[in-house]
Chain A
Amino acid sequence: DAGVIQSPRHEVTEMGQEVTLRCKPISGHNSLFWYRQTMMRGLELLIYFNNNVPIDDSGMPEDRFSAKMPNASFSTLKIQPSEPRDSAVYFCASTPGQPSYEQYFGPGTRLTVT
């Protein structure tokens, strides 16, 4: 298996632009997680899905952030409009659930908003 795939790996954009991050989870995994990592705030859970349904989006910082999972093999995290404080590394992770719930992380997307 190729593991969790994220694209793009790097994104540089200007403030006010729309940004879309993409994630392909490992085939057969039934839960998908979006995290944000910064030096100041560490690793934060933004939202997660179980069987393509959003379960907990309490970590989404603002209405500018939205996430979708239209099918079991694809998810997007969108920021519109982007701001410099959104600059971070965004990770996607998936898990098969039972029996151990270990999460498999993608390589991350490094977002820079200027």
Chain B
Amino acid sequence: AQSVTQLGSHVSVSEGALVLLRCNYSSSVPPYLFWYVQYPNQGLQLLLKYTTGATLVKGINGFEAEFKKSETSFHLTKPSAHMSDAAEYFCAVSFSGNTGKLIFGQGTTLQVKP
């Protein structure tokens, strides 16, 4: 069975500071991993994804994430937070051969303080 755990339901950073949102997964098969962002009153939007190949993946808006198999982690980072990054972020896992179902984490709300 697959599962996703996001550590911290709320994260607060100052503008310009490092953003680190944590995601750990459990999967008995090689995972496909995703980060989605949801701005207020909008649907979820894909930030980045890992399927195979390079373990450091870059996404939109300056975000990146690194797949670490040994740690079963896929943490999301951004070197310098911007006020516009305030949103809810979801980590999700799937796997090859699945019909596309994603297992989502509980979500982390990022607050950016001026």
Which residues on A are within 8 Å of B, measured CB to CB?
4, 30-31, 33, 42-43, 45, 48, 50, 55-56, 91, 93, 95, 97-108
How many residues on B have C-beta within 8 angstroms of the other chain's C-beta atoms?
A: 21
Asked whether A43 lies within 8 Å of B104 as measured between CB atoms, the reply is yes
Q: List 15 A-B contacts (CB under 8 A).
A: A4-B43, A31-B100, A43-B90, A45-B101, A48-B100, A55-B101, A91-B43, A100-B51, A101-B94, A102-B49, A103-B46, A103-B100, A105-B36, A105-B43, A108-B43
B56 contacts A by Cβ under 8 Å: no
Q: Out of A42, A91, A100, name the residue touching B32 (CB < 8 Å).
A: A100
CB within 8 Å of A: which B13-67 residues: 32, 34, 36, 42-46, 49, 51
Within 8 A of A (CB), among B71-114: 90, 94, 96, 98-102, 104, 106-107
Given A42-B106, A100-B32, A100-B51, also A48-B99 (CB < 8 A): yes
B34, B43, B49, B101: the one contacting A56 at CB < 8 Å is B101
Residue in chain A with minimal CB distance to B44? A105
For residue B42, which residues in chain A have a CB less than 8 angstroms away from its CB? 107-108
Q: Is the CB of A95 within 8 A of B100?
A: yes
Rounded to whole Å, the gap between the CB of A55 and the closest CB of chain B is 6
| Other 12 A-B pairs with CB < 8 A, given A50-B100, A97-B99, A101-B94 | A43-B90, A43-B104, A48-B100, A48-B101, A55-B99, A91-B44, A101-B32, A102-B46, A102-B49, A103-B100, A103-B102, A106-B43
Q: A48: which B residues are within 8 A, CB to CB?
A: 99-101
